[in-house]
Structure 1
Amino acid sequence: MARRAPRHAEAARNDHALLEAAKKVLAVDGAHASVATIAARAGVGIASLYRRYRSKDELFQHLCALALDQWIRVAERGLEHDDPWEGLAHYIEACVEFSGGALGPLAGTIAVTDEMSAKFTRSDELLGRLVARAHEAGALRPDASAMDISLLIEQLGKSPLIDQLDRQGRGDLIDAARSARKRTIAIALDGLRPRHPRLPGTAPSPTLLSERWEHALAESPKQP
């Protein structure tokens, strides 16, 4: 076990680096992002990567599971807040900060594994509880649904300004860009308060998000 512990720690570090690199590369290249580009950005050798994962799809499925773990952990922390609004706000801010929706470009391109499906379900359950608590406390506008929150996070998680400055190597402006995004998040959070006019249209259905992942399941060949 002593010999395996360093390897396990290294694998965990590589996983974190790959996940962060994948988010950034996918934000720019979308579903066409190459494993080589992600590995290079993460500082992980491509050969060692393919020794661990049999295919690009398997790597992306693993990264999706890791991203879902992040969503689950931050939702659980949000539920620990005594104040329902603060718990929900913490969840939204944290999810936007680590760009939880940045793996969205993979939707419809990879099969949804049993592990991913279970974590999607758990994440949805926790978000539902956060939203229900905030509604019951009168802290969240009554016409805002869990799906509205998910879509809001996905949109706020994208930051063309930060991505552009990062590509240009303008590290001197990154902090200012992040500060600007925090202001945008604060404006969006204020819009979730109950004092505003009713939202237009009807609340989005959960299938609006899930169907894009189900497409991959239908189109992908069955695994042996």
Structure 2
Amino acid sequence: MDIPETPSESQGERSPTSKRADAERNRERILTAARKLYASEGLTISMAAVAREAGVGKATLFRHFTTPQQLIDAVFADSMDAYVDATTEALADSDPWHGFVRYITSVCEMQARDRGFADVLTLTFHSAKALEERRTQAYHGFLEIIDRAKVTGHLQTDFVSEDLILVLMANAGVLSATANDAPDSWQRLIGHLLRGFASPGAPIPPMPPPPSSDSLYLAMKRAE
């Protein structure tokens, strides 16, 4: 049920404190609904669908978030903070190659946990300024991760930052195709990619097991 935020929506006047509390509750309901829908369906969910899930009117939704980009920015603020933290943790690793492997794996796992975030990492939102600032911060951290890993001799010299975008796009595609039937398939993909990025003799994590034939068949059938 939509909680009224203005006198015209309620019976009689309400105190400013009461209206602020109602507005904050509605905002949290909207964010909770958006997180749920983005995580399960991706960023194609409409604002109207978010309003329905939150149990608020569209007018209430647009009072808090006038554009989809503003809502996306608010929903994924914490996730983008974690994305930046992943670069910090990788740079703090005493073994730069291990930090590189850790970073690639961690970011792909973030995508696996949240389909909406998988989309966020492969798209740009120029009007979502806070989100883009965090993305830029993480990008510059990743450039340093690459340089440090190359110094060890374990990362192929032709690896470039654009390769991360390809990794994230590939992972997002696998997640979209297999999430319902073979949700751990992304781990196998990343295992293969890390082997391609590693120089001969570089220490690499054990290869994750492949998905079963039956689970992949179901995923392929679903994609028809």
Place the TM-score, normalised by the shorter chain, in its bin: 0.5 to 0.7
Q: Quote the Cα distance in structure 1 between the aligned partners of 2:99 and 2:134.
A: 20
RCO comparison, higher one (Cα < 8 Å, 6+): 1
Select the structure of larger CA radius of gyration. 2
Q: Does 2:159 match 1:147?
A: no
Q: Quote the Cα distance in structure 1 between the aligned partners of 2:192 and 2:28.
A: 36
Q: TM-score, normalised by structure 1?
A: 0.61
* Matching residue within 145, 158, 168 for 1:130: 145
Task: Rate the CA distance shift 1:11–1:94 in 2: closer, same or farther, 3 A.
Answer: farther
1:57 paired residue number: 69
Q: Quote the Cα distance in structure 2 between the aligned partners of 1:105 and 1:122.
A: 16
2:120 paired residue number: 103
Q: Does 2:94 match 1:89?
A: no
Q: Quote the Cα distance in structure 1 between the aligned partners of 2:167 and 2:85.
A: 19
1:220 paired residue number: none
Q: Does 2:208 match 1:194?
A: no
Letter in 1 for 2:120: L
Q: TM-score, normalised by structure 2?
A: 0.61
Q: What is the aligned-residue RMSD (CA, Å)?
A: 3.5
* Matching residue within 181, 187, 205 for 1:182: 187
Letter in 2 for 1:78: A
Unaligned runs of 5+ in 2: 1-19, 112-116, 202-224
Q: Does 2:90 match 1:78?
A: yes
1:119 paired residue number: 134
Task: Rate the CA distance shift 1:83–1:20 in 2: closer, same or farther, 3 A.
Answer: farther
Instruction: Check whether the contact 2:72–2:128 (CA below 8 A) recurs between aligned residues.
Output: no
Q: Quote the Cα distance in structure 1 between the aligned partners of 2:100 and 2:32.
A: 25
**Counterpart of 2:119 in 1: which secondary structure?**
coil
